[in-house]
Every structure is written in structure tokens, then in C-alpha cells.
């Protein structure tokens, strides 16, 4: 019994060392919703949000432009070529829907977001997302709920085709 207790204690110490001393802080640092209610003009918050969102295969974010001079305010994300993974193909529409929903849910005064991918461009407005979803995306308070909501609303293919025909350039 004493030997089991020592082994168990040793394993717990190893796990704590591997996970760090304060796991709550790690979770807090990785939670994208800590930037909820930020503003387009807050480059640090917008940069943190966009840096946590997925990139298309073979592209990476190469900067963003914050359009804060005239309303409606918006964000432009510019991407560049990087080495592609041969096993992974990007579904740009799925990526745009996911990323635009998160950005517009978290940045309270953003009315639109443009994605300048290497070979195509998409512009998504808050009004278009509200129309697609039939719900105010600013109401969400955590990543899991919002991700699940996006997934559930991505099941109607005809609705998504109409949405993207209006937003693909």
C-alpha cells in the first residue's frame, strides 16, 4: 500500500510539472472570449482574436487592416502563401463562416470583415450573418457554444450557397 501511494504521488508530481503549476491561467490565456466586447480600433485585441483562428492550408495571416475612420467599421485580413500540407485541403467557405462569426461576435463595433486569401476574397457583414443565423451572434459567451451553433447552422447547404453567392468575389 505504501509503495502504491508513493507511485501515485510521484505520478501526480510529474503531471503537475508537465501541465505547469497553474492550469487555470493556461486556460484563461487560450480563451478567445476574453477579448469579447473589444473594438475595431484595439489592434492588440483584434490581433489576438485573428491569431487564434484557423488559417487556410498553405496560407498564413500576413497582417490586418482596421478600418475605423468612417462607419461602418471593418477589418481586412490579408493572407500570403506558405508551404502547403499535401494531405489537407481547405474549405474556404467553412473557414470564412467560422472566422467571420467569431470576429463579429467578439468585436462589438465591427460591421464587416474581409478575407483576402491568396486566390480569392470574401467580405462578410454582420447583417448578413444575422440574417443567415436568425440570431444575434453577440449573445454568445463561450467558444464551445458558438462553435456548436456555427456547426448546426452549416447543415443547410442551400442556405449556405445563397449566403456565399452574395459574399464571394
pLDDT along the chain (169 residues), means of 10: 45 43 44 96 97 94 96 97 83 95 98 96 96 95 96 91 78
Give the domain ranges of the chain.
1-30, 35-165
Report H helices in 20-156.
23-30, 43-52, 92-106, 126-133, 143-152
Q: Render the burial of 113-129: b for 16+ CB within 10 Å, e for the rest.
A: bbbbbeeeebbbbbebb
Q: Report DSSP state, residue 107.
A: B
Cβ neighbour number for residue 15 with a 10 Å cutoff: 9
pLDDT at 16: 41
pTM exceeds cut of 0.75: yes
Partners of residue 122 on adjacent β-strands: 115, 168
pLDDT at 62: 95
Tens digit of each residue's pLDDT (9 = 90 or more) over 9-38 = 444 444 444 444 443 333 445 799 999 999
pLDDT at 4: 43
Q: How far is CA 51 from CA 6, 64, 117, in A?
A: 43, 10, 15
Query: In this structure, are strands 121-125 and 112-116 parallel, antiparallel, or unpaired?
Result: antiparallel
pLDDT at 83: 85
Amino acid at each position: 500500500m505504501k509503495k502504491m501511494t508513493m507511485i501515485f504521488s510521484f505520478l501526480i508530481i510529474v503531471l503537475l510539472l508537465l501541465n505547469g503549476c497553474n492550469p487555470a491561467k493556461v486556460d484563461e490565456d487560450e480563451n478567445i472570449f476574453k477579448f469579447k466586447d473589444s473594438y475595431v480600433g484595439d489592434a492588440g485585441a483584434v490581433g489576438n482574436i485573428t491569431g487564434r483562428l484557423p488559417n487556410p492550408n498553405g496560407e498564413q495571416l500576413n497582417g490586418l487592416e482596421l478600418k475605423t475612420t468612417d462607419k461602418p467599421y471593418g477589418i481586412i485580413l490579408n493572407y500570403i502563401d506558405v508551404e502547403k500540407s499535401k494531405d489537407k485541403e481547405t474549405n474556404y467557405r467553412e473557414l470564412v463562416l467560422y472566422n467571420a462569426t467569431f470576429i463579429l461576435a467578439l468585436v462589438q463595433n465591427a460591421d464587416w470583415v474581409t478575407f483576402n486569401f491568396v486566390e480569392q476574397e470574401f467580405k462578410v457583414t454582420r447583417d448578413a450573418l444575422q440574417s443567415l443565423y436568425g440570431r444575434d451572434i453577440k449573445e454568445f459567451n463561450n467558444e464551445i457554444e458558438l462553435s456548436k451553433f456555427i456547426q448546426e447552422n452549416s447543415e443547410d447547404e442551400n442556405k449556405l450557397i445563397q449566403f456565399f453567392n452574395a459574399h464571394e468575389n
